[in-house]
Structure 1
Amino acid sequence: MKLLINIITYFCIPVCLFAQQYRPLPVDKDGKLSPASKFVSANSIVQTTNLSVFVDLYRDGIDDTAGMRHDDNAGHSVYWSDCELKVLDKNGNIIYFFSTIAFANKQVQALHDSKYNDNEATVYYYVSGGNTNGVCVKPKKKLTNFNLSIGAIESAYNGTSDANDNKVRITAIQIYPSAKFREVFLNPENSIMVWRQSINSAETDGKGGKCWRPAIIQFIR
Structure 2
Amino acid sequence: MSLNYQSARFLTSAPTLARCPIDSGAEVAFAGRSNAGKSSALNVITRQKALARTSKTPGRTQLINVFTLGDDQDRRLVDLPGYGYAKVPEKVKLEWQRHLAEYLECRESLNGLVLVMDVRHPLTEFDQTLLEVADSRDLPVHILLTKADKLKPGAAKNALQQVRVRLREWEDLVTIQLFSALKRQGVEEAHQRLDSWLEGDIAAYE
**Which category of TM-score, normalised to the shorter sequence, fits these structures?**
under 0.3
More helix by share: 2
* TM-score, length-scaled by structure 2: 0.24
Report the structure number with the largest CA radius of gyration. 1
